[in-house]
Each structure stands twice: as C-alpha cells, then as structure tokens.
Structure 1
C-alpha cells in the first residue's frame, strides 16, 4: 500500500523555507493542571489523540520543489521539558514530526511548527489531548460529545481564493525596529502577565473600545515612547502585525493554517499622538481590514505568490536560500512587533475543574525580536511576551502601564531575575 502524503498549505510552505536556528517557526500552547502530570498517561493520551486526528501523525519530508508531509507509523514520544521553549524541531537529514509534547510538574506543553497548523488548529489538538489525558486519570468524559469528525485538513486558502479579486494593494514603509541585541542562539525569554479579563474590559470601556484595540494601543504607545527616547535618527512607522483567524469570516473547519497578517500602523512622522488618537487610528485600521472583502485580497496575495510560475519552478534548494530574504523584505521588515490573541478557551464543565490555565507563546523571529501572545481562560487573561534578547524594557513598560491603570497583574518569567 502506498504511503499517503500531504501538501503544505499556502502559509506552511513559506514557513518551511524560513526555518533556521533562530527562526524556529515553533509556537507553544500550554495547559496547567491542578495535579502533577503522569508521563505514562500522557503518552497513552497522545497516541489516542493521534488516532482521532491522524492528520497530525506525519513527518516532514523534502521534495525536489517543496517540503511535504508524509504519513508515518512511528509514534512521537512525550518528554520532560528541560530547555527553552519554542526551540527548533527540524534537523537536516532527519525525518521529524512537526510538533512535540512536553511536560513539567503540572504543565503539558504542545509545541507546533507553523508548517503544520496555526493557533486554532493547535488548540483543538491540545483540547482533545487534555480530554484523553484526564480520561486516563479516571475523569468521566462519557457525556462529552466527540465532534472531531467535523474537522478536515483542507487548504482553505485555495477554497476561498477568487481569481478576480485583486491583490492586497497597501504599501507599507519599513517599520521601526527595537534597538536590542539578540541573546545566544536557542535562548528564548518568556514573561507572562496574568490578569482579570473584567479589569481590562473596564479600561477598554472607558475609551469606548474593545480589549484587543486597547491592548494594541497600549503596546503602540510604549513603542512610540521607546523610539522617542532611543532614536536620534529619522522616525519610522510603528507597525504591529495582528494575525487574524480567517475561520471567523469564512466557514471552515480546517486544522491547517488559515490566517492572515493584518498590519496596524501609527506613523509618528505625522505628529504627536495622544492615547485617544492611537485608539481612534487603530479602530479605523481594524475596521478597514476586518471584513470578508478586504481579507479576500490578503488571501489572493498569498495564493498568487505560491502559484507564481517562476517560484514553483525553482528547486527547493534555491527556495530555501531566497525565501528568508523575501520574507524579511516583504514581511518581517514591515513590522515592529506582533500581538496574536487566540481568544477565550472553553472546556466542558467535567474538564474545567481539573484545568487551571492555558498559555500561548508566540514563535521566535529575528525580524521581530519581541512578540506577544494572548489567551484567556476562566475569567483570566494571560499575556506572554517572547523575547530573543536579554532586554526587558518592553515587558516592564507594558505591565507597569497596566498596573498604573489599576490592573492587578501576577508576573511569571523564565528569566533568572525579573
């Protein structure tokens, strides 16, 4: 019987050719239980989960023109966490899984390459893993409906690509970059702030805006201040990359990547912005982008880039050489940083009482040395900054600003001292 194989989706193909020792393309989703993790049960739960979501039971292979996934009978092994998060999954000459499952004390961490899926797909896999793990622990889950059959592994970008829709037309200027040095290879500093969602809602309500817009405005204001304090050169735009889950706008149950990056820009060259000005500008930017018509232009740009005849004709060896440069010029160089909000995670009542929290660590990137990942669960929000440098200014300014506004925050970090 022939081995089944899968093409990478439109986003996955780009990520595959940009992997390096510093750009792992790996993000982390973690769940913390109220009891210590049983490694044996976790391994059994992983194997059961892969039987139900078999599209994840693949290894990464190199073709002549593209990377691809190949089904495998091999089984990944859970392991105890002992290194920095979001480290590289791929090594030349080896067939590797595009994800790993780690545990430490009460925490289970699922680390995935963006070659395989996005945050939404990862959350679905992790939630099923948690269900199966708790079942091994003796928790009754018989009343929980299994809805995994609704999911698929389709390339939703192709499904919603329309030939007559023009490419995204906006031209972005090269964005301001934080003047910070990279730490040693493999080191990824993470700092998480835990706060009550309601406290942030109250703040956002004062400015008649959403939580997402408020967080973007707060972060933008900090980046403007840092540029003002540290740069004697000509000012540059502050542009934040906001990943948008396209499933909220187009019907799809795909577990592959299905998101686009929306740019939110404030240009200090135009003058001084008050906090209210920043909120108003960001609100207009988001309203302009977040509709199915405008998002179709972003889908069109990605699909046409992938289908470009010259690009398709290039051997993989050449793609691996030029893709990082193209991604830097037309992607990373256009952004100062990124904030990705996976929203509110919900579990069935039978499971919630056993699960304390969720966390989301964004993938490390040289072009955007600092990124933020946001996730919420049971009334709490967890804001995590991933940082490739040892500079702590951004995280400190961000959380101190929230504290100054009356928000109580508990800070946790993997740094030796915060």
Structure 2
C-alpha cells in the first residue's frame, strides 16, 4: 500500500510505501497499479504503538466480566446486588474483576456463598494475583474442600480447568487497533509453550491483529510472603546461562529490593526487565540503574487509583509511587504499558497520566515525576526486545504504522485516541475510522 501526504513526527512531509515492511519513504512517490492508497491528509504518521505489558486472555475475558472495583461498587450490599443481577457467561460462571478490599472487606468462600450459592462465582482482586471462588466454583475446579476459596492466579492447578472456556481475542484486538496499537507484549507468567503457540497462531490467523511477544517462561511474580533470595538468584542465573532474560514483577518495595539483590548476584542480561516498579524508594534508584534492567511501568494507575493512594498511602511516600521522570534521570531505560485488564487498555490515557500525574479529582501526585508529551509517546514506540528505544519510520522496518488525523503539535497537545485515523499492521489496514 501507499500512504500519501503523511507528516513524520519531526515535521517532514512524506509518502510511505508499505508491504510487510516499509520499502520507501519519500515525498511524491507515484502510485503503482493495484496498490491501495491511503491519503493521510497532512496528518501525523507514527510507528504503531506497542503495549509493553498486558494480559491478552485476561483482557479479552474482562470484556465479558462484571466490574466490582471501588469506582463501580461501594459497600457489601451493592456488591451483592450487582453480582446477583449479573448474567452468567457462556460457561455458566459469573466472573467479576477489579475487586479491592475497600469495597466490602476481605473475601472468602463463605462471603461469596452468602451472595451466590447456586451458580459458580469467581472474583479477581484488582492486583491480578488473587481470585476468590464460592463453593460452587471450587467444586467445578476440583477443590471442593479448599478452606477459604482464595486462589492465586498463577496456579495452573486450578486455572487449567477454565482454559477451554476463554473467549476469543477478536473483540479485544479490534479495540486495541482503534488505539493505534500494532503490537503487544503478553506478561502473563504461567503461559505454557502451547499457550504461547496459540497466541502466535491467533495472530497468523487474523483473530489477533497485533503481533505478540510473550515474557513467559521468563516472567516471575514475586510475593511478599515468599521472597526467597537464593531461589530467585538460582533461577535468574540459569536463565542467563541459557542466554535468556528475565522479567520480575515488583509492586512493593520489598519485592523490588529482593529483585535488585538477585540481579546483582546473578549478573546482567541486556533484556532483563522490572515489571511495574510501583514503589521505588529513594535509596533504590541507584540500584535500579545499576541493574541495567528496563523498567516497564504504568503511570495510568495514578489516574485510575490515585484517590486510593491519597487516602491510604502516607504523603511522605507519594513520590515513590509509579515513578517515571526520576527513573529516566537516573539513567534507567523506561517503557510504558497499560497492564490491561488491570489498567485501562487505552495507551493514550496512560500517556496523559504520565504527563499530568493527575488523579480522578485533579490532584497532582508528585509533579516531579511528570514527563513531556513527546517522552510519554516515545515510551510506547519501542520494539518488544528493546522497549525503551523508539522505532523509526524507515525502509526495512516492519510495516506497522499509526496514522493520525492531526499535526504532530496537536497530537502532543491532546494525546487522544480520537486522533487515530488508521492502523496498519504489516502493510494491511486493520482499522480505519
């Protein structure tokens, strides 16, 4: 195809010829017979956005789930009302997501049985690491005698029973295409080789239009109650010895400290990653930089959960949350992502949050962590293997492009998905507004 009258981010007017890869970038390229022509009309053309950390199957399922987070539900009575009114999915389950204890306190099987005893019910904590099932649900996954119904998401011993009921990826993929997303990194830690192959096949078949890179089996979630430094060092060293990188999930200060100690002992791999880095104490900044790992973080949580941080986290610790600018200033490679479905899947909203640092009520959470609009956008333009290095539009690179209806200046002023006019994956238009 030929994209005409595009404007690169540096203001250069150009045409772009695309097959599966970009073949020509020059102003005034003549159209060829049979070639699809897309008129950009003076709008900006970017490399396609890449979401560097999300969970495809969970995000697809979340589109068919009941949301029971603090923004949707307040109090145990409303929680019970919402769940009892929910329509079971095609698999017979009531599936709810986004729960936090501020809604109705801690959950267990007894609490859920009091709400719904005749249908299988499972509720995911908004952290993504924990599910709570009622007795009917526990029976279906082969755990009728489980003491409290609280099960870890990464435990394939019970999740395998649900895999055959997962929804397809087409609806999620179409939504991502509307944001200009052409590639994703799936950060689900427990994917088997067959799971990874299935995601790749979904892309080849067109069900998943985005190219997909998977962190598994090199992704590990750290839990505060299971922080075994020696075991982690051994696992990282074995991965590195095999020439493979690691990605360590760190959402607490304790997890970050242990992850950094393990990386220091096991040595570096240039593609190592720290996922989230939700809390980075001042004393850890230098160690993060020394690790050489790329931090893949989600400033969208400042906007989505900022009110809870203002209420529940000491003001003296606010500056440690979801750092971006201070990490970059320390020399840390940083890339951004949405963590969908635990965060909203719109990368433009995540960019705005990185720029403004505003909570839902408009309070700025640590102005010193703001970055410019250009910096925020660039952190969604990296390759999955080098996420902190923005891709360029030039011959030879993969033909993944985001065509916007506005000038570069307007794109930066708004950072809004409404400007996405077309999304091109490997030379094929997968979305056109």
Higher relative contact order (CA 8 A, sep 6+): 1
> Same fold judged by TM-score > 0.5?
no
- Which TM-score applies when normalising by structure 2? 0.24
Which protein is bigger by CA-based radius of gyration? 2
